[in-house]
Amino acid sequence: MSAKLDEKDLAILYLLQKNCRMTAREIAKTIGSPITTVFAKIKRMEKQKIIKDYRAVLDSKKLDAGATAFVLASFSYRDGETFLSQRVIAEQIAKFPEVQEVHIISGDWDILVKVKEKDVNAIGKFVIDKLRTVKGIEKTLTCMVFATQKETTEIVLPVNKEFLKRIQ
């Protein structure tokens, strides 16, 4: 871990990952620290960008965006005499609202894109009418998701096992 985090920091992060609506008072009570300490630690971790944001996790199926696909894309590093940047292309793709994730990857493909849309047709329309029109994209491979067993944003933290027993 690049940032120096103590046991209380990790406990706070663990609790916030489970429920970002927990108040500093609730966290303080759970971990046995003064509320001022908890509040200061949260603010420090926000400033350090360890805590990047707070979000609600929505049910995409109930919001008419129940189809998920992973799209592999390769691109040409050249457009005539101009060199194209993989990072710039990834940034362009990230601007599309259907796109949840964009990763620059190794191997036979250059970029991995996670897309959520209404249905297979909408994903096809995205790939054909948007993704493939990005300058430099040469080919794509779309992998439709049939079922999802796990989808999370949580990061495994080295939290004290005694702490975990106490809060469960």
- CA dist 125 and 78 (Å) reads 26
Q: What domains lie within the chain, and their CATH numbers? A: 7-56 (1.10.10.10), 60-144 (3.30.70.920)
- Which residues are 70's β-sheet partners? 114, 143
CB neighbours of 121 closer than 8 A, spacing ≥ 6?
none
* Calpha distance 112→127 (Å, rounded): 13
pTM comes to 0.84
Q: How many CB atoms lie within 10 A of CB 127?
A: 21
* pLDDT single digits (tens) 83-108: 889 999 999 999 999 999 999 999 99
pLDDT tens digits, one per residue of 18-51? 999 999 999 999 999 999 999 999 999 999 999 9
Residue 151, burial from CB neighbour count under 10 angstroms (0-12, 13-18, 19+): exposed
From the CA atom positions of the chain, what is the Rg in Å? Answer: 21
Amino acid occupying residue 130: K
For residue 2, CA distances in Å to 5, 37, 132 come to 9, 22, 38
